[in-house]
Amino acid sequence: MIISLDMYQTLFAAVCVLMLGRFLKARIDFLEKFCIPAPVIGGVLVMSTLIFLLLFCDDLLSILFPVVLLAMVGVIVYAVMVCPVNPTRMKPAKSYEQLRDTVEKKTDIRVPGENLLPWTVTERQLRMDGPSRLAKVSGFAISGTMERGGVTFNAEVSVGVIGVVGDLPPCWDSYRYVPIYLFQDRGFYMTQLYIDGNEYIIQVMYPESTTLSEEDAAYVEDALRTACHTVVDLYQ
């Protein structure tokens, strides 16, 4: 039996195979771990299926239509799943407990308590590794406000897997052999530390038109230092 495909049919079949491979690679960890290309995954699966059909099925045409129909449905489902639905890559969490349980179950990131800073928490978000429905949890962000001396500070704790690390300032503090870096400019303080492959950023922002007193600046730095030490303690 000879099955001939024109240019458009061949292109459609190739796209189906590619999308099948991408779908399987996104869902099966070891395929991603060993960097197996999506076309190879889809091609091997489809080729194995066709060989099986040719060897064990006498009437190929009677099953060819259901196979093609299934492939078309699979393409549609895959397109829906990979369509960007979350461009910010952040997903709201209903509660601190949900955020903590989700992050610690699906990643190796430790989530500190909400009393990490002397603040009022206003927002909790899960960080995703992509914009599609197939995206996995890769971190979190908790935001809130602090009050001190009539000044309102916006604070945020964000955590994710270490990416590209740029230039760092001199080490500001070291706790249990973990260096802590402080970025400071008018309007914000930001601490950064790396532990077990995870990047923690704790920042406090205030209006640039506000000049902090020495006492208020020391208060912010002490709060950041204590928060960083608390994070490090989670991994001990």
pLDDT digits (tens, 9 = 90+) for 61-72: 556 656 665 666
Q: Where does 28-150 have alpha helices with state H? A: 29-33, 38-56, 60-82, 96-106
Residues 117/223, Cβ–Cβ less than 8 Å: yes
Kindly report the pTM of this predicted structure: 0.71
Nearest to 67 by CA among 49, 94, 85, 92: 49
Nearest to 156 by CA among 126, 128, 127, 121: 121
Domains of the chain, by residue range, sit at 7-82, 90-234
Q: Give the DSSP H or E segment for 179.
A: strand 178-185
C-alpha 219/C-alpha 206 separation (Å) is 13
> In the block, which residue shows the tokens 């495909």?
5
Give me 21's structure tokens: 């491979």
Beta-bridge partners for 90: 127
Return the pLDDT at 64. 63
* Tally: H helices and E strands in the chain: 6, 8
Give me 32's structure tokens: 């991603």
Give me 152's structure tokens: 């309102």
Beta-bridge partners for 142: 124, 157
Return the pLDDT at 75. 66
C-alpha 213/C-alpha 184 separation (Å) is 15
C-alpha R_g of the chain: 26
Nearest to 203 by CA among 218, 221, 215: 221
Return the pLDDT at 65. 57
Return the pLDDT at 62. 59
Return the pLDDT at 26. 74
What residues of the chain score a pLDDT lower than 50? Answer: none
Return the pLDDT at 234. 94
Nearest to 105 by CA among 135, 128, 131, 137: 137
pLDDT digits (tens, 9 = 90+) for 153-187: 999 999 987 655 668 889 999 999 999 999 999 89
HSE toward the beta carbon, residue 105, CA cutoff 13 A: 8
